[in-house]
Structure 1
């Protein structure tokens, strides 16, 4: 049988797929034996309005992307995070100085991050297949069907964002995304405010010191109503939900909304098939952990495959199973945190809501409780 066309093919050219391609290329004797399959980023016209899709990357993710030479030039630092519950006493503050890091994380524009990563992939020597092939079946090798004809690969790494099969939960919420201008900005301070309808986050925006990226989780009908509001009415609704901490808030640019659900499945899908990022798990956006978890998937999978890349004729399935075991604890803890928080804080039970407020107060007063949670949100579990 002829040798496979590629040693590794990554299906999905989003941020996780690009980061995985760069990590593998760094260790591969011949980066051209690694293929990245997926469409190139869409060119953006100059003067385009500010895109509300902004991503919170924690300290560990920034360090990882910097080692790949793929950190975007624009980023807004997150130095502290203020966590509160609407209508109840108790709040907690997580600060970078307590964890001895220069920042907790950064906010970057989605387009900036993807453009930077894709440009780095182009320079890396990785083969680019600018199309989205169908998901392959497991096999040895794995067979792919492309527009130019069939090809094969020893490993297919899925990062295409298709919903994983397994655990599923519908939250009955949509995330409303917008960019807002604050009359009294507080540089470096991000907010996570839990309301009866879901969490509301305001994050420093890389496009301006007085701008914030809004992620507002509400029931579907409320999300549609918010999108339909005039700027004046939207601003009033946001002000009522968030408060006066940043002064007057004004929406600028477009507003988007998308449904929220949890999907999680196995990392290893069969012989020669591995899922990472959103292909392995999609999370509620509370605490901004989805992309950070996906980047940890990519970093650790590339590390596990480094010795195999030098001898791709050797068996690899045991390494893939080892990778799945390594990722189990980090995935379970991150899924647990992001699944529990929006459901517990949105409860209608008054006693439980008061208990949540007391919990925030306890986190603020007791570093022994706060630091483990803060450390996980800072970088997750890394090897």
Structure 2
């Protein structure tokens, strides 16, 4: 049998796939035996935005990206997070000083992050195949059908964002995304406000000190109606939902929507095939944990595969099974938090909502309740 075309192929060139490629390239004696498949970032004019998303990257993710020389030039720091519930007393404040870190995280534009990551991949020696990733055919080695013919790989890592098969929950919500300008911005402060329709988050925006990235979760019909409102009507509705903490809020540009659901499946997809990031779990955006969890997947998998990269002819499956066991706790806790919070706070039961308000107040008064959750959101569960 002829030698495989590659030692390792990564299917998906988004942030998680790129971080995987960069982590593996640093440990590989022959980075050119690693391939990253997926389109390159689309060309854009200065100041143009192709993808409207702004991403909240926690302290651990920022450290990882800086270590990989892939941190984008523009970022807005998050120093405190204000958590509240509309219509009820009780709130909590999570502060970077209490956790002894310079910042809780940072917000970056998706376009900026992707361009920075692809520039780092171009310097890494990894081969970039700019075509749509195919579905792998399990076997040893794994077979891939490429545009110029079949290729084989000892190991395939799927990070293409395709929804995994397994656990599924439809939240009957959509997220409204927009950029808003605040008359009285609070430097470094992010807000997570739980409303009857779902969480509403305002995050410092890297494009300006008075700009915030809005993620507003609502029932699909309401979300669609909000996204098509004229700016003045949208501003009025947002002000009523959020309050006056940042003064007058004004939308800048258009709004967009996307549906929210939970999908989670096994990391191991067959012999020599592993799913990471959104290909392993797609989360509700509450607390901004989806990408951060995916980056932890990538970092841990790259670390576990380091010894195999030096001798790729050796069996890899025991290492993959070790990876799946190590990721189980972090994945389970993060899935549980992001699945429970939006459903709990959106309940119509007044007793539950009052209990949630008391819980926020208790967290604010008692660091022993606040710190474990804050640390998990800061860097995940690490073994």
Task: Say yes or no: does 1:117 pair with 2:84.
Answer: no
CA distance in structure 2 between the partners assigned to 1:176 and 1:141 by the alignment: 43
SS of 2:298's partner is: helix
CA distance in structure 1 between the partners assigned to 2:262 and 2:137 by the alignment: 24
Task: Determine if contact 1:7/1:33 at 8 Å carries over to the other structure.
Answer: yes
Task: Determine if contact 2:50/2:111 at 8 Å carries over to the other structure.
Answer: no
CA distance in structure 2 between the partners assigned to 1:86 and 1:333 by the alignment: 26
SS of 2:256's partner is: strand
**Structure 1 residues 158 and 86, CA, compared in 2 at 3 Å: closer, same or farther?**
same
Say what the alpha-carbon RMSD is for the aligned residues: 0.9
CA distance in structure 1 between the partners assigned to 2:163 and 2:260 by the alignment: 12
CA distance in structure 1 between the partners assigned to 2:321 and 2:72 by the alignment: 33
Structure 2 gaps of 5+ residues are none
Q: CA deviation at 1:381?
A: 1.8
CA distance in structure 1 between the partners assigned to 2:81 and 2:346 by the alignment: 20
Task: Determine if contact 1:80/1:93 at 8 Å carries over to the other structure.
Answer: yes
CA distance in structure 1 between the partners assigned to 2:51 and 2:20 by the alignment: 25
1:245 maps to what in 2? 245
2:220 maps to what in 1? 220
1:232 maps to what in 2? 232
**Pairing 1:228-307 to 2, within 5 Å after superposition:** 228-307=228-307
CA distance in structure 2 between the partners assigned to 1:133 and 1:214 by the alignment: 31
1:150 maps to what in 2? 150
Task: Determine if contact 1:49/1:253 at 8 Å carries over to the other structure.
Answer: no
Task: Determine if contact 2:195/2:345 at 8 Å carries over to the other structure.
Answer: yes
2:98 maps to what in 1? 98
1:348 maps to what in 2? 348
1:17 maps to what in 2? 17
C-alpha distance after superposition, 1:52-97 (max 9, x if no partner): 3100000000000111000001000000000000000000000000
After the TM superposition, list the runs of 4 or more consecutive aligned residues in structure 1 that deviate by more than 6 angstroms: none
2:32 maps to what in 1? 32
Q: CA deviation at 1:50?
A: 8.6
Task: Say yes or no: does 1:2 pair with 2:12.
Answer: no
CA distance in structure 2 between the partners assigned to 1:124 and 1:136 by the alignment: 24
**Structure 1 residues 107 and 130, CA, compared in 2 at 3 Å: closer, same or farther?**
same
TM-score normalised by structure 2 residue count: 0.99
State how many pairs are aligned. 383
Q: CA deviation at 1:42?
A: 0.6
TM-score normalised by structure 1 residue count: 0.99
Task: Determine if contact 1:239/1:248 at 8 Å carries over to the other structure.
Answer: yes
1:364 maps to what in 2? 364
CA distance in structure 1 between the partners assigned to 2:252 and 2:367 by the alignment: 38
C-alpha distance after superposition, 1:96-140 (max 9, x if no partner): 000000000000000000000001000100011100132112211
Task: Determine if contact 1:50/1:253 at 8 Å carries over to the other structure.
Answer: no
SS of 1:97's partner is: coil
SS of 2:97's partner is: helix
Task: Say yes or no: does 1:328 pair with 2:328.
Answer: yes
Q: CA deviation at 1:46?
A: 2.7
